[in-house]
Chain A
Amino acid sequence: MTVFVTRVDHAEAASKFIEAKDHADFHDKRLWDLRKKRDRETEAMPEWEELRALASAIKEHTLTHLGDYLEEFERNATKNGATVHWARDAAEHNAIVFGIMESKGARTLVKSKSMLTDECDMRPFLETRGIKVIETDLGERIQQLDNEPPSHIVVPAVHKLRTDVAEVFGRTLGTDPANSDVHYLAESQRQTTRPHFLAAEAGMTGANFAIAETGSVVVCTNEGNADLSVNLPPLYIASIGIEKVIPRVEHLGVFVRMLSRSALGSPITQLTSHFRAPRPGTEMHIVLVDNGRAERLGMADFWYSLKCIRCGACMNTCPVYRRSGGLSYGATYSGPIGVIIDPTFNLRKYSALPFASTLNGSCTSVCPVKINIHEQIYKWRQIIAERHALPFVKKEAMTIAGKLLSSPKLYRAAVEAAGAGVEHLPRIMMYNRLNAWGRQREVPAAPLMTFRQWYLENRGRP
């Protein structure tokens, strides 16, 4: 049976993003600023590269013993008084969360940011069943109120300007839509979210790490919303991807030192919270979610992507991400890490994403757990090409390029002709819909001679 799935057209979506020049320019600048802050932190740490090697090795060890560590985590969490649930996929995860809520008669859920619950599309599932779900992270709340998914895994509303937020809050929270003062907007969200914290019947977090040795759930945040979500209601639910487990508490030293430095360029998040056991008189539930991860673990070229600690450094450094915005990827995970994860969920739907990259390798060099992101992007391109999943224009361009590159004579003729061509061709020949490289770019002036011409003239015949 063939199910027709629409392919996400990243280039088309990106072109719309770029049309709003103020937004595109700010987005680019803001994320590059995060990248520079990251550099300042990492360059000040002599052991940075050693930490990267350790982080990568700890993750690889854990993933190659994942079954054992998950069982150890389950054992210890259960001993602590938590209830551990297992979910094969998004549907099972959502049903489990709803079941827990229903068993306690809980109708309101305050939650901190979790990419996993976005991946599972949990909010609409619960909402149609009468549960009120409140996102409590400022960025995630903005996105919830605007009915949009997060565009970045760390800063969910980074594609919005303050005036956009003023419009959204004016429409949904009743604030003054003409007042785009950032302090006013943040304070408005604080004031309107607080009653939800106080009244919530359940709280939820994701997890940055799950410790096998202690059964603890570790959450790294800045706003205080995760700690409020857990420490007020009588019911706490943590949704955790199975790849988040690490063996021992001491390993947090490595990851906590790297996470916020990579993400925001700060030495640590304002809060690094360790939830090991429920408060007396309350319940703690942990949902361990597979949703394609076990299958990814068996993919020889791609299982390394499971090392990801979701810092977003690869997104902040990626020139394509910075200039196209997270929403243009049409997937829960965007940017370089999304490009290599998304096709494992749905190869056809996300087959254009591995082409949203210049393969410059910057993502790989900033990755704190040393995922070979750009190599995986290249491998996805091969798989997509082999399965004939390339869009027509790209396929034609690649076929022609392939012929040229495999024949020295044709290549030389083409390069020389192109040099002349750029000078003399009418613009329509360079900047048309078939040539993606002509969009948003001016081709630089061609050099006076090709390298081969220069070599022959200056060094004689090879």
Chain B
Amino acid sequence: MSTRDDILARIRKSQPAPSPLPDVPMFDAGATPSLDAFKAGVERMGGKVVAIPGDGSVDALVRTLFPAAKVICSAVSEVHGNRPLADVRTPAALDDVDVGVVRAEFGVAETGSVLLTEDNFKVNALGFLAQHLVVLLDPARIVTNMHRAYQNPLLRTARYAVFMTGPSATADIEGVLIHGAQGIRSLTVILVAAGVTDAR
């Protein structure tokens, strides 16, 4: 008997009497997705939320936010950057990126999370090798809580999907909180609807 069949046979022999699968409610009756709650969630987890600037230029805003950035790599049409993703042959080539820019699918008010998939990153490593990440989010695309978030079909269809909540962090030494563990050192969410220039 193969290992697989042996394991499955022993599991079936051991399985206790069947118990039923409960229905899971959404736990958001009467609640509306709150932008304020989303902002508070992002900030609590160490991120920042920035509103769209008066002149509407996200590109200029990114340059203002990161004046020292040498390499800006953008996966969105609103920001030009100087490291075209189309030229990236291996993920490791993004090692020197100072600022990555991506657009999130939606946000979650409960936690301050944003959902990003391989379509948003274009190269997944962009969200982790960049020193700083800027995430564009349409403020109309915020759901109440994680139950609602998991209703989105992308969680079934994307090869890779990640709920990102604030920058990478660790408290592994004496509980001292450090932002910028192995991944991004900062996360900035810019609230901006997908513009006409957005090719996607």
Contacts and interface: CB of A to CB of B under 8 A. Distances in A.
Contacts of B22: 53-54, 57-58, 61
Contacts of B166: 270
B191 to A, nearest CB: 20
A327 interface: no
B193 interface: no
Given A182-B173, A223-B182, A267 B110 contact: yes
A274 interface: yes
Given A186-B170, A223-B181, A249 B45 contact: no
Interface residues of B, number: 72
A223 B169 contact: yes
A449 interface: no
B11 interface: yes
B167 interface: yes
Given A198-B95, A251-B24, A290-B7, A138 B181 contact: yes
A267 B182 CA distance: 21
Nearest to A53: B22
A312 interface: no
Given A64-B16, A274-B160, A242 B172 contact: no
Nearest to B20: A61
A328 to B, nearest CB: 20
Interface string A238-276: 000010000101111110110000001011111111111
Given A222-B168, A231-B91, A271-B168, A294 B183 contact: no
A242 B165 contact: no
B60 to A, nearest CB: 28
Contacts of B146: 252-253, 256-257, 268
A271 B8 CA distance: 32
A402 B87 CA distance: 77
B17 to A, nearest CB: 7
Contacts, number: 250
Interface in B177-192: 178, 180-184
A87 B4 CA distance: 8
B69 interface: no
A161 B174 contact: yes
A228 B182 contact: yes
B3 A92 contact: yes
A351 interface: no
A198 B92 contact: yes
Nearest to B179: A270
A88 B6 contact: yes
Contacts of B145: 253, 257
A88 B181 contact: no
Given A249-B150, A268-B113, A271-B163, A136 B182 contact: yes
A137 interface: yes
B181 A228 contact: no
Contacts of B46: 270
B183 A61 contact: no
A266 B45 contact: yes
A300 B16 CA distance: 8
Contact of A214 (B8, B12, B110, B156): B156
Given A249-B155, A274-B160, A64 B19 contact: yes
Interface of A: 26, 30, 33-34, 47, 50, 53-54, 57-58, 60-61, 63-67, 70-71, 80, 86-88, 92, 136-139, 142, 155-158, 160-162, 165, 182-183, 185-187, 190, 193-194, 197-199, 213-214, 222-225, 227-228, 230-232, 242, 247, 249-254, 256-257, 264, 266-279, 288, 290, 294-298, 300, 303
Interface of B: 2-4, 6-8, 10-22, 24, 27, 41, 44-46, 91-92, 95, 110-113, 118, 124-125, 127-129, 145-151, 155-156, 158-176, 178, 180-184
6 contacts: A67-B15, A92-B3, A139-B172, A185-B173, A186-B173, A268-B163
